[in-house]
Amino acid sequence: MRRPTAASVGFVLVLALAGCGYTWVGADDTRALGRIAIETPENASRETGIEFVVADALRREVLRRSGAELVEDRERADWVVSGRVLPVRTAPASLSPVVLTLEYELTLQLELTARTGAGREFASDARMSSETERYLSSADAEAQRKNREEALRRVSRMLAARFLDQLHESGRRDARLEEGT
């Protein structure tokens, strides 16, 4: 008796899955995002350059997602994302017994909006547009600056992903409503 080859087992598995109702994740979700242009948000904080960190996080998140295409030209975009960075808050998070700050807590809040050429608008949920991250304090000023910068990048990435998730869900909801009418 011959043993089945890996190719034949794979073929049988594909056939079995094809008839069971499973689909590839994202197969019908690609139209929800489409082409996205990211404008650098307005900086309403005192953080020099934070608007570029946020814009970079949004662009990277668009590039990371299937079903989304980053475009430079606003006229070609299905969505144009813009907004502003609100003041960044930093506060001591943990102290040592000798009253030295061991960690700081940084909070970033964004106001983001996505618009279509047809006038449709999606604004980020205020509750979901804020994120907090802790970073280590250091006696070395350069190390502390780098820790803070990395915390800003992390919260920017989290907020970018959350905003695009909300935009995607909004598009899916709208598509379901259109199908129902």
Q: Does the residue 22 lie in any domain? A: no
Q: Which residues pair with 105 in a beta bridge?
A: 91, 134
Q: Does the residue 18 lie in any domain? A: no
157 neighbors 53 (Cβ within 8 angstroms): no
**3-class DSSP state of 27:** coil
Residues 44-87: tens digit of each pLDDT = 999 999 999 999 999 999 999 988 899 999 999 999 999 999 99
| Domain hosting residue 133, numbered range | 29-180
pTM given for the model: 0.77
Read off the CATH number of the domain in which 148 is found: 3.30.160.150
Query: Which percentage of the chain shows pLDDT scores above 90?
Result: 59
Residues 6+ apart with CB under 8 A from 164: 33, 58, 61, 62, 65, 68
Q: Does the residue 3 lie in any domain? A: no
The pLDDT, as a whole number, for residue 171 is: 74
Q: Does the residue 147 lie in any domain? A: yes
131 neighbors 107 (Cβ within 8 angstroms): yes
Residues 6+ apart with CB under 8 A from 154: 133
pLDDT band (50, 70, 90) for residue 39: very high
Residues 6+ apart with CB under 8 A from 78: 33, 34, 35, 36, 116
Identify the CA nearest to 81 among candidates 173, 174, 178, 159: 159
Residues 110-129: tens digit of each pLDDT = 999 999 988 889 998 877 89
Q: Does the residue 173 lie in any domain? A: yes
Q: Does the residue 9 lie in any domain? A: no
80 neighbors 105 (Cβ within 8 angstroms): no
Q: Does the residue 2 lie in any domain? A: no
Number of domains within the chain = 1
